[in-house]
Amino acid sequence: MPIRWSGVKVSEAMDMAEEFVREASPPLEQAKVVATEARKIANLPSYLDQRLVRLIIQIERIDSVKQAIEAVRKDIPDGAIGMEQASLKHGTTKALM
Contacting residues for 31 by C-beta, under 8 A, at least 6 apart: 55, 59
Residue 75: pLDDT above 70? yes
**Percent above pLDDT 90 for the chain:** 68
- pLDDT 10s digits, 31-61: 999 999 999 999 999 999 999 999 999 999 9
Instruction: Tell me 25's DSSP state.
Output: H
Domain boundaries, given as residue ranges, for the chain: 7-75
State whether the Cα torsion 80-82-85-86 is positive or negative. negative
Q: Alpha-carbon dihedral of residues 18, 23, 25, 31, nearest 10 degrees?
A: -150
